[in-house]
Amino acid sequence: MKTRKKLTEQINKLQGELAALERKQVSQIYGKLVEETLNLLSGVGEGYIDEDYYAPDRYYSSIDGVKNIRISGNDDVVTVKLYQNIILPNTIEVDGKIYSIKVIYSKNYSHKIIN
């Protein structure tokens, strides 16, 4: 029978492995999210959509699980709409400015672009 100490050690090891996996995913997504935010701010790129009924502009993302990104009314927040659960950073730095990440998740979104 395992002791509490051994079980706690196993739990701690698994939590450490989980944290490492989360950090790896965030680091893989971080650069692409910065690139797409720069494209959104510059009004360029394949995923950029100029003003429509719902938002002044948006960027349809190529990141798996992300529908689109927008700059919220508060210029310090990047809103990321997800159609699948992924781990994102809490903040990103773009051109020396720190942006908070606001996540909106819905199963109603998909990877398809609808104009």
| 92 within some domain | yes
What is the enclosing helix (H) or strand (E) of 97?
strand 97-105
Into how many domains does the chain fold?
1
Pair of tokens at residue 24: 């790896």
SS3 assignment, position 26:
helix
| 115 within some domain | no
Pair of tokens at residue 40: 């959104």
| 76 within some domain | yes
| 111 within some domain | no
| 114 within some domain | no
What is the enclosing helix (H) or strand (E) of 17?
helix 4-42
From first to last of its 115 residues, the chain has per-residue pLDDT tens of: 679 999 999 999 999 999 999 889 888 899 999 999 999 988 888 888 877 666 678 899 999 999 999 987 677 899 999 999 899 999 999 999 999 999 998 877 665 554 4
Is 0.85 topped by the overall pTM? Answer: no
The boundaries of the domain holding residue 16 are 4-105
